[in-house]
Structure 1
């Protein structure tokens, strides 16, 4: 009996099941909402069951039957991906879908250029990207919506693998008028008495605060934000300093204020930037090539964001 549904329709079903919303699912798979709705309607008609309960205020949720179909659809998509990997391994062709997640604090500075160079080398790969905090990346890997994720070595769960790529030392970011902006380096003790704008993301914030705890001091946090650009603008306007590991491309905040970047020294450990993978992910030729590409591209010589912070008074 011929199939009367497509893998693409199953992909849309899984996307809605994960997002709980047709609009959000449409954004994630980069198609229109009517296309998603039509696919769901077709599958419901084909299978003869209602897949979702539609609640205006709360979006869509899977019915009992829909949950069973969703689980099987995910397995079918995984197996389809394995077939693509097998074909690629036989022909030594890097192809198929590759979805890479990036930590929101540095995705804009690293992931697009990494994607561009990989896509130029392997045009048959259908490359997609998304951004989130570290727990979001873990969740995407476990659900199979991500093939790989760029993140930090922060509490990597036992069921995931971490491939280190670069060591990033922390630095203080300050307004040019800050009392410590002209220093060659600063310690957590130097900073503790000054107002701090904390980049308050899951796991990352714990790392920034650990720099102070290891030195036996407590930072004076006056503001918290989950957005890197907002943090830089608050710092540039003189509301406090902050701590980060990735150098921005510009030495100005998003609202145009000049910034200074001063190395943080003392009892502070660097963070490791790397790829987070599920066990067995590198059985895919495409994933293996992407891992190798990251090793080749993510070097201080090629990525300005990874270069050490220099003396702000130099030059």
Structure 2
């Protein structure tokens, strides 16, 4: 088996056809077909089934493709590391962020990374479900992740960047905007705009309200932080999310809460990380992770923190 065969099989799985995969790879269609047939002969299994919607991986194909993706990414990282010594870093860097974390800080760090390594291809995605992030990590599909909590032992090394303080978002007419901080009990009877039940953000709200003996009414569930903020601003309900996830123009509608709520933000980096991951980590460290309060919302200082528990088996962070 060759790395090229792995790349061709992954391309067919993504495109759903040999023709589309060949176009994406910029090679002749017969070459892709030949490589896939040769791979199947060597493995002794069929990797794809023909269906009305195109080529779909078989059960054996799905198992093979998971490991093939890890191998391809590892090869790309090795190539990038080798070229980095000559100041010509290439390849792909995959960054995953737990929804709501690093929304303000990540763009600046990525821009700095792109300026340092202009030929590096950077892919970033936001994931609400911690279990999905862990699955991607186990597959080796993520080079650096931003997570709330500590890393699972053996998978990644955790680097504590700071703590994300959570704020409540209110409508412009809400009386609680007159306060520097809003007590959770003062808005407990309000309808709440919440996030998907499997998301880490909803887990924070669920734990905080439970620990304070509160049982809120849920008026809506959304999958994006910006949607939650906009709906709360229009008076549909209140919502709770990290301060850095508040879109520009809505800061005046936010207040930190009492008791204060925060989540440690950790950069999870693969052991033996290459120059791109380490450079991004350094740029993330240079960003501001301490909440100092939005204009008109108080200083954000002088209060106790409520730290939600980590959902992962933890190891020390540095």
Q: Compute the TM-score of the two structures, normalised by the length of structure 2.
A: 0.74
Distance 1:67 1:222 in 2: 39
Contact 2:49 2:58 in 1 (8 A): yes
Can you list the C-alpha shifts for 1:137-168, whole angstroms capped at 9, x where unaligned?
22222212211112222x74334332211211
Aligned positions, number:
286
For the pair 1:170 / 2:159, whether they are aligned, the reply is no
Contact 1:23 1:33 in 2 (8 A): no
Shift of 1:218: 2.2
**SS state at 1:193 partner:** coil
Specify every segment of 5 or more residues in structure 1 that has no aligned partner in the other structure, as ranges: 25-30, 253-257
1:157-306 residue pairs with structure 2 within 5 A? Answer: 157-160=152-155, 161-200=157-196, 202-247=199-244, 248-252=246-250, 260-266=253-259, 268-278=260-270, 280-282=271-273, 284-296=274-286, 298-300=287-289
Q: CA RMSD in A?
A: 3.5
Contact 2:170 2:253 in 1 (8 A): yes
Q: Compute the TM-score of the two structures, normalised by the length of structure 1.
A: 0.75
CA distance 1:272–1:181, change in 2 (3 Å): same
Shift of 1:35: 2.4
Contact 1:182 1:313 in 2 (8 A): no
CA distance 1:12–1:216, change in 2 (3 Å): farther
| 1:151 corresponding residue in structure 2 | 147
Shift of 1:34: 4.1
Distance 2:22 2:189 in 1: 51
Distance 1:168 1:106 in 2: 7
Moved more, 213-222 or 182-191: 213-222
| 1:28 corresponding residue in structure 2 | none
CA distance 1:70–1:32, change in 2 (3 Å): closer
Extract structure 1 runs of 4+ deviating beyond 6 A: none
CA distance 1:71–1:43, change in 2 (3 Å): farther
CA distance 1:108–1:269, change in 2 (3 Å): closer
For the pair 1:84 / 2:74, whether they are aligned, the reply is no
| 1:255 corresponding residue in structure 2 | none
